[in-house]
Amino acid sequence: MLPFLSDSDEQLEETIRTAKEYGADFIFVGSLTLFGKGPADCKTLYCKFLEKYHPELLPKYKSLYRIFFAPSKEYQKELEERSTRLCEKYGIKNRII
């Protein structure tokens, strides 16, 4: 999921519901990872995308990711809890057992 772009409750529910409607057995919901520190790595390129198309989100991303490749543990836990509830609602697994 793209923080602040595709992770709202409505978008998350639509994603899970649509996966179920198309016959998915399970869905993994995870947050965006952004690796690297070079001029052409994914973190740098994604930040350039945000600067161009969603400059208002850049401070939020910098706060959420800080110096790491993944968002804060709090964000990840909250996303997992929301997706687990929705998977239960739609009767779709959210992990492989």
Say if residue 96's pLDDT is above 80: no
Give residue 86's pLDDT. 97
Q: Where are the domains of the chain?
A: 9-90
Instruction: Supply the DSSP symbol for 8.
Output: S
Tell me the pTM. 0.85
For residue range 36-53, list pLDDT tens digits in order: 888 889 999 999 999 999
The pair phi, psi for residue 82, each rounded to 5°, is -65, -45
Q: Where are the alpha helices (DSSP H) in 22-57?
A: 42-53
